[in-house]
């Protein structure tokens, strides 16, 4: 008589867009997964805010609850998918499930950024395990790449597009020669941008994801307030024209750089000029792209859908397969696997680079008085802070009596550029706050 297959019971906390995607796709491919994994998969329970709300997937009423913590602590549930979002209830659910020795799968980059150290310590202490492939870049398996495929490497540079909303807006601004506000409205109508777009367009969503990647690559938790974080809302169609004239495109990038000689790490998020020939510069619409430079493997590049129901559900189910590998067999084996799979304690963290050690070239756009001697005043102010001008583009500008002045610099540093911006703002001939963008001459 054949031995019955072990049963892995799954609870989903949060049945929104992603949760419904996981339920839908897991139900569809479950027979194939069960055959491949040698287990039975049971979607046991799901938590929702409103039991009466209609949804795109059919879930038996008896499997629905409004109590997410009850799923987290249910001794009959082996894997908890935390798909609630936010950092309050999601944190309680995650910690409760890990304290019960369960496997938790999460797509919540904000939670990991804010409470990652606490989450991993709880997993270690109680023999649980925390899987989070879906938290960064949607369907792109970047977390598995860093944790598994590239484990032999140190990472001097990781950079890329981590927010599809911003990439869509920048792509449309360039292709349509349209202002930011008009494209943002279009993105909201299409569902690519939230009603409150600030988390995306001001760079904070990307910063949360950058924090996760920085921890994986360098064992250091970097909070967004410790990063340089700038958004895309001040970029104009004219900036794209100037960038093209200089041979560049504009992308919102996360840049994670480590100098292994000084053991200094910098994490920053900002619009960046990339050479038009660069592969990442060609990634358009809602797609994400991540470039990873390893000291053994060299540079590897990952491109794909960074968000959406299907891409994120794909990543959650990928983690579920890993969870099954840990937990299949009998209950005693479950416990052994959980203890063995707790994350190792991180190596010694590196220190954060001071602003004067973060160096690149810069793009600077100013609206100035259209009168003789302005460029000389600007050049003098920049030279006083040891910033050298590499190129100049000057054009007429509205209103009458004003001009647009676009400069690029030779290599400088963040500290010098901040001092330069402050000095330029005090010049009477500078009519508006200058726009500063970085130039990403990444040598791959």
Active-site positions read 209
Output the CA torsion 380→419→258→216 (10° steps): -140
CA atoms within 13 A on the CB side of 191: 4
Environment class of residue 50 by beta-carbon count within 10 Å: exposed (0-12), middle (13-18) or buried (19+)? exposed
Q: Could you give the CA distance from residue 218 to residue 67 in angstroms, rounded to a whole number?
A: 37
Q: Could you give the CA distance from residue 93 to residue 100 in angstroms, rounded to a whole number?
A: 11
| Torsion region of 14: left, alpha or beta (phi above 0 gives left; psi -120 to 50 gives alpha) | left
- Joined tokens for residue 403: 């001009």
- Joined tokens for residue 111: 């939670």
Burial profile 238-251: b = 16 or more Cβ within 10 angstroms, e = fewer = ebbebbeebebbbb
Total count of residues recorded for the chain: 444
Residue 405: name the closest of 418, 387, 392 by CA.
Answer: 392
């Amino acid at each position: 008589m054949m031995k019955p297959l072990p049963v892995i019971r799954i609870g989903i906390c949060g049945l929104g867009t992603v949760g419904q995607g996981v339920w839908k796709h897991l139900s569809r491919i479950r027979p194939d997964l069960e055959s491949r994994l040698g287990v039975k998969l049971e979607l046991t329970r799901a938590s929702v805010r409103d039991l009466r709300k209609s949804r795109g997937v059919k879930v038996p009423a008896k499997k629905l609850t409004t109590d997410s913590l009850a799923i987290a602590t249910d001794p009959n549930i082996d894997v908890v998918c935390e798909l609630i979002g936010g950092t309050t209830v999601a944190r309680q659910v995650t910690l409760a499930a890990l304290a019960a020795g369960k496997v938790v799968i999460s797509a919540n980059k904000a939670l990991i950024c804010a409470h990652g150290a606490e989450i991993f310590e709880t997993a270690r202490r109680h023999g649980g395990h925390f899987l989070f492939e879906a938290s960064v870049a949607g369907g792109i398996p970047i977390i598995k790449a860093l944790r598994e495929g590239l484990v032999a490497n140190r990472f001097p540079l990781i950079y890329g597009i981590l927010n599809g909303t911003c990439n869509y807006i920048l792509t449309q601004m360039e292709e349509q020669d349209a202002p930011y506000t008009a494209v943002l409205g279009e993105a909201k109508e299409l569902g690519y941008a939230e009603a409150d777009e600030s988390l995306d367009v001001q760079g904070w969503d990307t910063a949360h994801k950058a924090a996760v990647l920085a921890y994986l690559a360098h064992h250091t938790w970097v909070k967004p307030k410790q990063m340089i974080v700038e958004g895309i809302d001040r970029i104009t169609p004219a900036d794209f024209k100037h960038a093209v004239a200089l041979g560049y495109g504009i992308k919102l990038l996360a840049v994670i750089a480590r100098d292994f000689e000084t053991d200094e790490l910098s994490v920053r998020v900002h619009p960046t000029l990339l050479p038009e020939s660069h592969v990442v510069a060609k990634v358009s619409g809602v797609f994400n792209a991540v470039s990873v430079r390893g000291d053994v493997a060299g540079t590897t590049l990952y491109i794909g859908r960074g968000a959406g129901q299907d891409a994120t559900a794909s990543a959650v189910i990928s983690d579920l397969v890993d969870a099954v590998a840990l937990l299949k067999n009998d209950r005693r084996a479950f416990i052994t696997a959980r203890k063995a799979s707790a994350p190792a304690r991180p190596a010694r963290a590196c220190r954060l680079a001071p602003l004067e050690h973060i160096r690149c070239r810069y793009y600077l756009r100013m609206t100035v008085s259209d009168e003789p001697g302005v460029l000389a005043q600007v050049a003098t102010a920049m030279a006083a802070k040891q910033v050298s001008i590499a190129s100049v583009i000057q054009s007429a500008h509205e209103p009458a009596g004003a001009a647009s002045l676009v400069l690029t610099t030779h290599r400088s540093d963040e500290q010098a550029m901040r001092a330069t911006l402050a000095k330029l703002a005090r010049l009477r001939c500078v009519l508006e706050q200058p726009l500063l963008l970085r130039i990403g001459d990444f040598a791959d």
